[in-house]
Amino acid sequence: MIHCVNRTAEPIVNVNHLAFSFGEGDLCKQILFDINFNVFPGEIVLLTGPSGSGKTTILTLVGGLRHVKTGELTVLGTDFRTASVADLVRTRRQIGFIFQAHNLLDFLSARDNVAMAMQLHPEVTATESRERVSELLEMVGLKDRMDYYPAKLSGGQRQRVAIARALVGRPQLVLADEPTAALDSHSGREVVELLQRLATDHGSAILMVTHDNRVLNVADRIIEMEDGRIKQPVNSL
């Protein structure tokens, strides 16, 4: 598999001395200490580490779902320290999110769940967005299941619909939180390979939290976390 990472380009994600804590005063609990890393276009970066080490918190910060209090964080050119709520929402529209729980809308078919995400991209014409939806569902292997409701799909199939939803807007950055956790080893592997292929095709960067040792070999880089700190220096594979 040919996979290009352009380390000379501007990083898509730039994390500098980032710290984060929950609560105030005596109840204040620090979760992240002095986090530094970059994600470059087309790069697949895995975040691993025991639970409670702060991986998911990093993901919510990079995804603009929490406000940055200490340190620097720039995502897709937006400085999250100074960004308004509207800026955060605008940036989130350029990010593909894949959650542990697929969270598909049960009242929409697979096709409509994916198509709904296209409402965030009104600049794309109706025809093109219909084509993109079909194309992506075909790529994730759900050509024959496009009009099925989530209740009629297996866990792996639902996760693949969620991936199609995350990618239909052609995001430059994909954030994935244990996308394989709820899947058996076979479908887990499939999902990760799919992500890798789609990342390569569209040149998107992927930042993925995972515990799953079976998927580590797709990474360009692995960041290991422990107790809110990055455990070892960044390795290039």
Give contact residues for other proteins (rule: CB under 8 A). Answer: 56, 59-60, 63, 65-66, 89-90, 92-93, 95-97, 99-101, 103-108, 111-112, 115-120, 126, 129, 165-166, 177
CB closer to other proteins, 177 vs 220:
177
CA distance 123 to 22: 38
Smallest gap from residue 25 Cβ to other proteins (A): 21
| C-alpha neighbours within 13 Å on the C-beta side of residue 80 | 28
CB closer to other proteins, 65 vs 216:
65
CB closer to other proteins, 120 vs 182:
120
Q: Rounded to a whole number, what is the distance in angstroms from the first to the last CA of the chain?
A: 14
Smallest gap from residue 4 Cβ to other proteins (A): 27
Smallest gap from residue 66 Cβ to other proteins (A): 5
CA distance 74 to 32: 17
CB closer to other proteins, 55 vs 221:
55
Residue 141 burial (10 A CB sphere; 0-12, 13-18, 19+): middle
Smallest gap from residue 112 Cβ to other proteins (A): 5
Smallest gap from residue 136 Cβ to other proteins (A): 14
CA distance 26 to 217: 42
CB closer to other proteins, 95 vs 219:
95
CB closer to other proteins, 18 vs 104:
104
Other Cβ atoms within 10 Å of 61 Cβ, number? 24
- How far, in Å, are 130, 160, 176 from residue 138 at the CA level? 12, 10, 21
Q: In sequence order, which residues have a C-beta less than 8 Å from that of residue 136 and are 6 or more positions away? A: 114, 164, 167, 168
Smallest gap from residue 149 Cβ to other proteins (A): 8
Burial 65-86 (b: 16+ CB within 10 A, else e): eeebeebebbbbebebeebeee
